[in-house]
Structure 1
Amino acid sequence: MTTAYAEPVVMDHAAWQGWSEMLPEPSLVAVSHGTGDPAGRSATRGLVDAVDAAMGTTPVHDAFVDVEHPRVGRFVCSEELGPDAAAALVPLLLSAGTHASGDLADAAALRPGTRVALPLGPASGLAIVLRRRLLEAGWVPGEAVILACAGSTDPAGVADCRTMAQRLAGHLQVPVTAAFISAAEPRLGEAINAARTRNPRVRTAVATYLLAPGYFADLAAACTPDVLGKPLLVPGENPPQELVDLVIKRYRQAIA
């Protein structure tokens, strides 16, 4: 008796290259300007901590372009990132300028493959937070607003501030004028005086377009507007979710 055997089925695995391990996401390096003001340091640290909590297993670090340490250039070369780790630098800066472009680009060049994200602003999420700060300060809907910006010698940074003023105007449904604490025109004090001259019976309201308390926030307050919104971050408070989401959004855009 002859027994018939079926031919064995041979699977073609020619394309299989073995198990592949998913590469970890690049580290998120949150790069802020740096400040000597303890309140500003605390507020900014709170934002980085909140981003860290939201990012799960993705490493989150902070670095600085001025005043504080570690400076971003030294950090990207440090052992803390690891010799083969990738990184994305997310500027905790509100507009384009020397720090957001030149300083971060120079730092990224020190570690091949490092990405640089866009600055946080202009963005609709920031307009939401600015409106909230104005309402907290006693702003009455319908009152015109001056947007107090740090200022920049970079035309792109000035343009970003003017775009942010337009976005805020859309959220507030009132005119918003961009004014600058330094480097650009019109200066904040001049803008406040001009508004009072035009409408002496109307309060001057200022939205502080600064990340956190510090030297520039003090200069804005010294201009004595009738209504002054606090900076985007306030020490002792949880950072606005809009800011946390925006930092993560910039990171995702950079690594996409």
Structure 2
Amino acid sequence: MTSLLAVAHGTRSAAGQSQIRDLVDRVAGRLPGVEVRLAYVDVQQPRVADAIRATDVVVPLLLSAGHHVRVDIGEAAAAAGAVVAPPLGPDPVLVDILRRRLPPCDAVVLASAGSSDPAWRAEVDGVAAELGGTVAYASGRERLVPDVVARLRRSGKRRIVVAAYLLADGLFYRSLHRAGADRVTAPLCEDPAVADLVRTRFRDLTMAASGL
């Protein structure tokens, strides 16, 4: 039986944990005959290095090819002889989800977790450009979400929406609701299209490996 190991970041949020498990259950329902399991790179167990044995394909439930994909997942996959699919983002599917969720507003703030990786930042900038929005981060020392929202308020924007570029509930997501915006979109993983995207990542990689 072909196997898929979905690897999430991990969170202490019970709601976020449930959302990721539900996402993986939906993926399993879309891939009959494939063994689908879940592991994490941080916070939760099992960790990817412990769960990757006898795995054919790894699909990172992450939004960019940052440290966790390159190092945590990459090294574990290399040791186990598994192949790794691209992360979920950036992808037009995610942009479409965010666009569908946006109500009428004066300004959009694309809120992401934050990273010092230039490639990661460029990817987030590209997503924001697709939405006509402004990038802000839920962590770090610059372009923090509350600061960006406050700046937009001072510039005269009356209805501001934070488009959450986050997969599941957790510390970063909850902080967005205290940033002063009028609305925050739901975590991405709650949209059925994300399960379809995981399935596509898996199928594209298995077809490429088989030479089809």
- Calculate the TM-score normalised by the size of structure 2: 0.91
Q: State the number of aligned residues.
A: 207
Residue of structure 2 in register with 1:208 after alignment: 164
8 Å contact from structure 2 (residues 150, 180) kept in 1:
no
Pairs within 5 Å for 1:85-234: 86-112=55-81, 114-134=82-102, 139-140=103-104, 143-167=106-130, 169=131, 175-183=132-140, 185-200=142-157, 202-233=158-189
Residue of structure 2 in register with 1:76 after alignment: 52
Query: Distance in 1 between the 2:107 and 2:160 partners?
Result: 7
Query: Distance in 2 between the 1:220 and 1:160 partners?
Result: 20
- The CA deviation at 1:254 is 2.6
Q: What amino acid is the match of 2:57? A: A
- Calculate the TM-score normalised by the size of structure 1: 0.76
Q: What amino acid is the match of 1:46? A: D
Query: Distance in 2 between the 1:31 and 1:183 partners?
Result: 24
8 Å contact from structure 2 (residues 113, 172) kept in 1:
yes
CA RMSD of superposed structures (Å):
1.6
Say which structure is richer in helix: 2
Q: Which has the larger radius of gyration?
A: 1
- The CA deviation at 1:129 is 1.8
Partner SS state of residue 26, structure 2: helix
Identity in percent: 40
For residues 102-127 of structure 1, the C-alpha deviation after alignment (integer angstroms, 9 at most, x for no partner) is: 11111112212x11111101111112
Partner SS state of residue 134, structure 2: strand
List, as ranges, runs of 4+ consecutive aligned residues in structure 1 with deviation greater than 4 Å.
none
5+ long unaligned stretches in structure 1: 1-23, 170-174, 234-238
For residues 233-253 of structure 1, the C-alpha deviation after alignment (integer angstroms, 9 at most, x for no partner) is: 3xxxxx422101110111123
2:7 matches 1:31:
yes
For residues 49-104 of structure 1, the C-alpha deviation after alignment (integer angstroms, 9 at most, x for no partner) is: 00001100011110000011110011113xxx3xxxx4211111111211122111
